Amino acid sequence: MENRNRNIWIIVAVVVILLCCLLAALAAGIAAWLGLFTLRSVDSGVLQPGFEFDQIIEHQEMSFEVGDAPALLIDNFAGNVRIRAGGDGLISADVSRRAGRSANLRNISIEPSQEGDTVRIVTRRTSAAMSNVAVNLEITVPAGTRIEVTNGAGDLTIDDVTGEIVVHTGAGNVEVRGSQGQVRLDTGAGNIDYAGEPDGDLTFNTGAGSIEISLPAGFAARVDLDTGLGSVELGGFDVDGSVSPGSARGTIGGGGDVTIEARTGAGDIDLVQR
């Protein structure tokens, strides 16, 4: 019976590894098909040789006046998104269409809108057959802005935004620094890096990738960390609860009002004390 149980667990481990590898390969294939791995910064409308294909970039700048409760909603079909905190009262964006041929730039739609203090930017491909196209966004917002980003594929970076942050990308890395509010980060395949002093719950999910959570020394919270294939490192935090090589559940710093939940199908989870 013991040998039989051992064999069953070996089979389960092999299946998990194969599924995680398949997910990572699929996400990488989607991102490569969209041309994300070869995007480069060049002057607007200028064709330059790239590693795999030529890239033409067309920039569009826009700005929106906002009040005391700003919100930014982004729905991007593919591309990198960077958001950073700036002054009060204004959301400004540099939006760059990117394509391998100039004709394809006309088939990328940018749809900005505003309702009250809420700004929305939606990008679309008007032809599903187009590949090697994307839209990159560089956006400055008031520090307290509520952020919600949906991205088909691409990396996301958010710096010093203290409002609520919700991010979902099909494939790509997600990095949030200087956060204070509630945060939910989700990527189908990619790494998640968080550094902040949260006064709201943190939720991190990746199908395949590592998760690093940097917190002030002695930070108090409830934690629920789990990896399907990898290890959980506590970085000097003492967990009052249950701890195993692949999971940790309980409290750190005596517990508190904040709950930190992290899940990865394949990858390590690291808590880091600053």
* Structure confidence at residue 178 (pLDDT): 97
pLDDT band of 21, cuts 50, 70, 90: low
* Structure confidence at residue 199 (pLDDT): 92
pLDDT tens track for 38-55: 333 333 433 333 323 457
* Structure confidence at residue 57 (pLDDT): 92
* Structure confidence at residue 192 (pLDDT): 98
- Written as one letter, the residue type at 123 is T
What share of the chain has pLDDT > 70, as a percent?
79
Mean pLDDT over 241-267 rounds to 95
- Written as one letter, the residue type at 28 is A
pLDDT tens track for 57-113: 999 999 999 999 999 999 999 999 999 999 999 999 999 999 988 888 888 999 999
Which residue in the block uniquely carries the two structure tokens 């060049």? Answer: 42
* Structure confidence at residue 40 (pLDDT): 38
pLDDT tens track for 147-165: 999 999 999 999 999 999 9
pLDDT tens track for 203-238: 999 999 999 999 999 999 999 999 999 999 999 999
Q: Where are the alpha helices (DSSP H) in 134-173?
A: none
* Structure confidence at residue 104 (pLDDT): 87
- Enumerate the β-bridge partners of residue 187: 169, 206
Spatial separation of the C-alpha atoms in residues 86 and 98, rounded to whole Å: 26
DSSP assignment of 213-248: EEE-TT--EEEEEEESSS-EE-TTPPEEEEEETTEE
The winner for highest mean pLDDT among 39-43, 131-135, 166-170 is 166-170
Spatial separation of the C-alpha atoms in residues 242 and 234, rounded to whole Å: 12
* Structure confidence at residue 102 (pLDDT): 85
What's the mean per-residue pLDDT of the chain? Answer: 85
Q: For residue 216, what are its two tokens?
A: 């002030």
Cα-Cα end-to-end distance for the chain: 48
- Written as one letter, the residue type at 48 is Q
